[in-house]
């Protein structure tokens, strides 16, 4: 569940080999009851499609919805306007978005690694499952909103282990201030530098080369927004984890905010990243309408918070429909302190899969996310983890070989070795078909 938009992410865009279970001959794919044309970007799988509409963040017995409600309550309670909450909540927005919403509107460059097919679930080159809730920022600003939370499921291709799942949930927010809100007591101060005219088309070109502020903003406006943003977020973390929680701010980079930070809390003897945030790039506001204001934005992942708060050891448990799991969160006050007790832990089964890559592929160009998707598609949720165990280049033939360990475990019962072998054989067959490898 790593925050996605790091500047140091490896760019995999040009070596991607697409794996998709959707038959290539079909020109359309059905997602959530609607037909979409497919193209060479299509990599959404039936397994991933099946998670759309599960809406865990809205299911009242799910730990994710408890955390979500605590965050919403904090924002409702802390910010009111004439007795009404000033934040509005959008938790019902379709996860199918355009690449304009997910990337272009947010100033994410054409060649940014977060656009890669190896990282996103594309329906086709212009449509994908949102990779972050920030994808809805511009449309809600265009609708005239100024304080809002966007809550929902997001989709990212990733490795498989106890803290990663290709679908997770985020809360994203925007808080926008106009001059008279921000400088209520200082009418002499301004949001924009005197040389900057927000009504001029130049509002769309704004430098971020200075690390402390955007060129259009005054230092006072930036600092005041930064102070508000940090106070509001520390308030939220204290409501969740208690007043004594240790935290620190880390400078960060996101294409859609400047300056940007990450908030980390000290949890179980280590620093844990909780959220990304920053002052919204003025170009986004100017494009979406309110060009006489300044705003902050943040985004956080609910799974990580829920796992820490309730001591839930495995992210797959969030998807459990087992009453042994859900009953622990049922009919609870949202603020109750709950510690998850494992219903029982069933044994793991580990099987290895070794294969020779075809001459066209090397250990470095083999797309492991494609392989993980295939494993997940066939093995489903009983796949607990896939680990790269060994890589090898034959000294004579120069052929490349990889060995993965696949760990199987059912969360609610014991799997038999025979059952596991059957799934494992199926994965081996599908790997041969999809990647042209030879099993060793």
Exposure of 305 by Cβ count < 10 A (0-12 exposed, 13-18 middle, 19+ buried)?
buried
Among 74, 155, 241, 254, binds ligand PHE (CB under 6 A): 254
Residue number, nearest CB to ligand PHE? 299
| Residue 172 C-beta: closest distance to ligand PHE, Å | 5
Q: Residue 424 interacts with ligand PHE (CB under 6 A)?
A: no
| Residue 174 C-beta: closest distance to ligand PHE, Å | 8
Report the C-alpha gap between 79 and 85 in whole angstroms: 6
Report the C-alpha gap between 297 and 277 in whole angstroms: 6
Q: Identify which range of 35-43, 209-217, 271-279, 366-374 contacts ligand PHE by CB under 6 A.
A: 271-279
Report the C-alpha gap between 85 and 51 in whole angstroms: 32
Q: What's the order of all strands across the beta sheet hosting 167-178?
A: 88-90, 147-155, 167-178, 293-301, 270-280, 257-267, 247-254
Tokens found for residue 316 = 């797959």
When the beta carbons of 134 and 293 are compared against ligand PHE, the nearer one is 134
When the beta carbons of 276 and 379 are compared against ligand PHE, the nearer one is 276
Q: Identify which range of 2-10, 161-169, 283-291, 425-433 contacts ligand PHE by CB under 6 A.
A: 2-10
| Residue 213 C-beta: closest distance to ligand PHE, Å | 16
Nearest to 7 by CA among 251, 245, 190: 251
When the beta carbons of 130 and 376 are compared against ligand PHE, the nearer one is 130
Among 95, 166, 299, 379, binds ligand PHE (CB under 6 A): 299
When the beta carbons of 254 and 355 are compared against ligand PHE, the nearer one is 254
Site for ligand PHE in 152-211 (CB under 6 A): 172
When the beta carbons of 3 and 308 are compared against ligand PHE, the nearer one is 3
Report the C-alpha gap between 147 and 141 in whole angstroms: 9
When the beta carbons of 88 and 405 are compared against ligand PHE, the nearer one is 88
Report the C-alpha gap between 346 and 11 in whole angstroms: 39
Give CA separation, 349 vs 3, 342, 408, 419, 431, in Å.
31, 19, 5, 10, 20
Binding mask 111-150 for ligand PHE (x = CB under 6 A): ---------------------x-x----------------
User: Applying CB under 6 A, what is the total number of residues that bind ligand PHE?
Assistant: 14
Among 64, 150, 171, 277, binds ligand PHE (CB under 6 A): 277
Give CA separation, 106 vs 285, 347, 384, in Å.
10, 45, 34
Sign of CA dihedral 359, 362, 363, 367: negative
Q: Residue 297 interacts with ligand PHE (CB under 6 A)?
A: yes
When the beta carbons of 247 and 298 are compared against ligand PHE, the nearer one is 298
Residue carrying structure tokens 């530098």: 193
Among 298, 355, 356, 372, binds ligand PHE (CB under 6 A): 298
Question: Strand 147-155 to strand 88-90: parallel, antiparallel, or no bridges (unpaired)?
Answer: parallel
Give CA separation, 415 vs 164, 323, 376, 422, in Å.
22, 19, 17, 11
| Positions in the binding site for ligand PHE (CB under 6 A) | 3-5, 132, 134, 172, 254, 257, 276-278, 297-299
């Amino acid at each position: 569940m790593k925050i996605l938009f790091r500047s140091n992410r490896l760019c995999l865009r040009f070596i991607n080999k697409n794996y998709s279970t959707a038959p290539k001959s079909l020109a359309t794919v059905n997602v959530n009851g609607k037909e979409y044309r497919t193209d060479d970007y299509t990599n959404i799988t039936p397994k991933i499609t099946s998670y759309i509409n599960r809406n865990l963040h809205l299911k009242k017995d799910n730990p994710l919805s408890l955390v979500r409600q605590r965050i919403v309550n904090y924002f409702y309670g802390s910010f009111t306007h004439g007795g009404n909450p000033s934040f509005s909540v959008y938790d019902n927005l379709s996860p199918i978005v355009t690449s304009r919403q997910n990337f272009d509107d947010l100033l994410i460059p054409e060649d940014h690694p977060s656009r890669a097919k190896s990282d996103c679930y594309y329906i086709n080159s212009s449509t994908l499952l949102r990779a972050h809730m920030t994808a809805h920022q511009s449309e809600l600003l265009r609708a005239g909103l100024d304080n809002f939370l966007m809550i929902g499921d997001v989709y990212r291709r990733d490795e498989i282990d106890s803290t990663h799942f290709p679908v997770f949930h985020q809360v994203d927010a925007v808080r926008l201030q106009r001059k008279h809100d921000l400088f209520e007591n200082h009418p002499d101060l301004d949001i924009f530098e005197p040389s900057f005219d927000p009504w001029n088309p130049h509002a769309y070109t704004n430098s971020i080369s200075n690390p402390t502020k955007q060129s259009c903003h005054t230092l006072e406006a930036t600092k005041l927004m930064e102070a508000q943003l940090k106070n509001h977020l520390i308030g939220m973390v204290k409501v969740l984890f208690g007043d004594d929680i240790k935290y620190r701010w880390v400078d960060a980079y996101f294409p859609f905010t400047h300056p940007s930070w990450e908030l980390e809390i000290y949890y179980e003897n280590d620093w844990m990243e909780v959220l990304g945030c920053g002052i919204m790039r003025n170009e986004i506001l100017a494009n979406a309408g309110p060009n006489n204001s300044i705003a902050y934005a943040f985004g956080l992942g609910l799974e990580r918070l829920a796992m820490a708060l309730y001591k839930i050891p495995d992210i797959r448990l969030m998807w459990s429909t087992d009453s042994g799991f859900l009953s622990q969160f049922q009919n609870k006050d949202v603020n109750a302190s709950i510690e998850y007790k494992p219903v029982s832990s069933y044994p793991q089964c580990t099987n290895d899969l070794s294969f020779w890559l075809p001459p066209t592929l090397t250990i470095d160009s083999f797309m492991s996310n494609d392989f993980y998707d295939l494993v997940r598609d066939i093995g489903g949720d009983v796949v607990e983890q896939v680990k790269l165990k060994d890589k090898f280049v034959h000294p004579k033939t120069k052929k490349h070989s990889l060995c993965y360990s696949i760990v199987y475990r059912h969360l609610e019962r014991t799997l038999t070795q025979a059952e596991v072998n059957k799934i494992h054989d199926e994965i081996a067959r599908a790997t041969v078909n999809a990647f042209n490898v030879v099993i060793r």
